């Protein structure tokens, strides 16, 4: 089911960013209803938000969508979160005093869900002692604050007071609305491709995009886990709050994983690590002096297998990307490497794509997760890992 969010918009220059925030929330599959103050409508029109969210925009205590003049009660009862962005100093003061002068303050006062406030104002207004006291009291009362950020403001002054960027607000909202079932669990995740140099200009790599591994890392953080990500080659966006360590080739990835595995409860090996590397390093650049070129490669160490052997109590999850005999090869990997779980998928269907179909294999158990976006696949994988890890 879609989480339902009331997006409150106060009157300030930063109100234009609320439209982008609304768009991101809708894209993230949230049902968004917007409540605007009269001052907010001086900066941006209700029609903009109605077009983005597909829902009527509310602003008056006297114009009820339920025809019972009880929107300030019914709206908050139906919502999973009230998010106010931007929140002005005036709104924060009213909120702290319990004033109910309009629909937004009334809904906030009558709420039965989390209230998240994103301040935006001049830096001197933000640092004004009464404003800071209001924020402190509201935090003590359980109101959640995101931001503000430091930077140059519309007035030209610089300091703390800028509205936190919509994408960052979205990430915080996602975490707040995600059940923290992985709270207290430390997870090490490898993701992306590795690259092995041939000479100073050329290299061997693979076609992994890193989408699956990064999706698992981002979702694990949202679910409350302490995440360490060992990142190979990938252009996927990583939550900046995740502890990320770069490891571009096999030897770097092996060293980082073995150095960190002992400090974690779970290791999820998603990275497409090079199975072979050049036997002898070639300095400079190979010249095109002949029609063919023979390179001698050597097999690399099996990082996942060695990690499980060195840390037998570590819950280890491997991935089996195969082009044939999917279940058979996945079971073989599960047994030979003594893993706790293997995620099997067809290379042609999943590598580089936005969605995937997988089979989760454990001892004497198989579960098919049919085609869906990789961020949703990641949630299913983490749910299965959590259930098995807790046994």
Question: Which CATH number covers residue 362?
Answer: 3.40.50.10300
70 pLDDT exceeds 60?
no
Q: In which residue are the tokens 């709104």 written?
A: 91
- Domain boundary residue, one of 135, 157, 176: 176
- Rg (alpha carbons) of the chain, rounded to whole number: 26
208 and 98 both lie in a single domain: no
113 and 196 both lie in a single domain: no
Q: Are 82 and 76 a contacting pair, CB within 8 Å?
A: yes
Picking from 171, 184, 170, the residue whose alpha carbon sits closest to that of residue 222 is 171
Mean per-residue pLDDT, 318-325: 89
Predicted local confidence at residue 344, as pLDDT: 94
Any idea of the CA torsion for 82, 86, 90, 94, to the nearest 10 degrees?
0
Residue 181 lies in a domain: no
Predicted local confidence at residue 341, as pLDDT: 97
45 and 109 both lie in a single domain: yes
- Dihedrals phi, psi of 6, to nearest 5 degrees: -95, 120
Residue 132 lies in a domain: yes
pLDDT digits (tens, 9 = 90+) for 228-283: 999 999 999 998 889 999 999 999 999 999 999 999 999 999 999 999 999 988 88
pLDDT digits (tens, 9 = 90+) for 168-181: 999 999 989 887 88
134 and 246 both lie in a single domain: no
Q: How far apart are CA 321 and CA 356, in angstroms?
A: 11
Picking from 295, 193, 201, the residue whose alpha carbon sits closest to that of residue 250 is 193
What is the bridge-based pairing of β-strands 341-346 and 355-362? antiparallel
Q: Are 337 and 318 a contacting pair, CB within 8 Å?
A: yes
Predicted local confidence at residue 63, as pLDDT: 67
Which 8-state DSSP code applies to residue 29? T
Residue 332 lies in a domain: yes
372 and 258 both lie in a single domain: yes
If one counts the domains in the chain, the total is: 2
Among the listed residues 113, 118, 155, 316, the single catalytic one is 155
Please report, rounded to a whole number, the percentage of residues in the chain having pLDDT higher than 70.
97
Residue 126 lies in a domain: yes
172 and 220 both lie in a single domain: no
Please state the separation of Cα 76 from the chain's center in Å: 26
| Residue-number span of the structural domain to which 121 is assigned | 4-176
Residue predicted with more confidence, 385 or 355: 385
- Compute the Cα dihedral for 68, 70, 71, 77 and give only its sign: negative
- Domain boundary residue, one of 132, 158, 176: 176
pLDDT digits (tens, 9 = 90+) for 75-128: 878 889 999 999 999 999 999 999 998 999 999 999 989 999 999 999 999 999
pLDDT digits (tens, 9 = 90+) for 1-48: 578 999 999 999 999 999 999 999 999 999 999 999 999 999 999 999
Give me the CATH number covering residue 122. 3.40.50.1950
64 pLDDT exceeds 70?
no
Picking from 51, 21, 239, 66, the residue whose alpha carbon sits closest to that of residue 5 is 21
Any idea of the CA torsion for 100, 105, 110, 112, to the nearest 10 degrees?
-160
Q: How far apart are CA 33 and CA 12, in angstroms?
A: 19
- Dihedrals phi, psi of 223, to nearest 5 degrees: -85, 10
Predicted local confidence at residue 1, as pLDDT: 56
Beta strands in 305-364 (DSSP E): 315-322, 341-346, 355-362
Which 8-state DSSP code applies to residue 268? E
Picking from 382, 380, 361, the residue whose alpha carbon sits closest to that of residue 369 is 380
257 and 115 both lie in a single domain: no
Residue 383 lies in a domain: yes
Locate 266 and state its tokens: 């779970």
Predicted local confidence at residue 325, as pLDDT: 86
Is 155 a catalytic site residue? yes
Predicted local confidence at residue 36, as pLDDT: 96
Picking from 57, 126, 58, 135, the residue whose alpha carbon sits closest to that of residue 93 is 135
68 pLDDT exceeds 50?
no
């Amino acid at each position: 089911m879609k989480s339902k969010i009331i997006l409150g918009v106060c009157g300030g220059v930063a109100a234009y960013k609320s439209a982008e925030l609304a768009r991101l929330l809708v894209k993230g599959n949230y049902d968004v209803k917007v409540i605007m103050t009269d001052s907010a409508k001086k900066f941006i029109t209700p029609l903009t938000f109605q077009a983005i969210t597909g829902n009527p925009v509310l602003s008056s205590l006297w114009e009820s969508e339920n025809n019972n003049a009880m929107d300030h009660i019914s709206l908050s009862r139906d919502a999973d979160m009230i998010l106010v962005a931007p929140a002005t100093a005036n709104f924060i003061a009213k909120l702290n005093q319990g004033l109910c002068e309009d629909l937004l303050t009334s809904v906030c006062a009558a709420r039965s869900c989390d209230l998240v406030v994103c301040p935006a104002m001049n830096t001197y207004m933000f640092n004004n002692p009464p404003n800071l006291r209001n924020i402190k009291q509201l935090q003590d009362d359980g109101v959640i604050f995101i931001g503000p950020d430091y930077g140059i403001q519309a007035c030209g002054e610089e300091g703390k007071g800028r509205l936190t960027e919509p994408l960052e607000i979205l990430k915080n909202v996602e975490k707040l609305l995600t059940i923290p079932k992985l709270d207290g669990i430390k997870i090490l995740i490898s993701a992306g491709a590795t690259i092995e140099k041939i000479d100073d200009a050329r290299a061997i790599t693979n076609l992994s995009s890193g989408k699956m591994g990064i999706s698992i890392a981002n979702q694990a953080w949202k679910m409350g886990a302490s995440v360490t990500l060992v990142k190979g080659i990938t252009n996927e966006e990583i939550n900046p709050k995740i502890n990320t360590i770069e490891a571009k080739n096999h030897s770097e990835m092996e060293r980082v994983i073995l150095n960190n595995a002992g400090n974690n409860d779970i290791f999820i090996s998603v990275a497409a690590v090079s199975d072979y590397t050049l036997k002898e390093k070639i300095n400079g650049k190979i010249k095109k002096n002949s029609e063919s070129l023979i390179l001698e490669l050597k097999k690399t160490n099996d990082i996942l297998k060695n990690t499980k052997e060195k840390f037998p109590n570590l819950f280890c999850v491997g991935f089996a990307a195969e082009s044939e005999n999917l279940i058979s090869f996945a079971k073989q990997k599960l047994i030979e490497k003594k893993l706790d779980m293997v995620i099997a998928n067809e290379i042609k269907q999943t590598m580089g794509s936005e969605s995937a179909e997988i089979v989760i294999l454990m001892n004497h158990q198989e579960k098919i997760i049919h085609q869906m976006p990789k961020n949703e696949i990641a949630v299913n994988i983490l749910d299965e890992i959590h259930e098995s890890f807790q046994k």
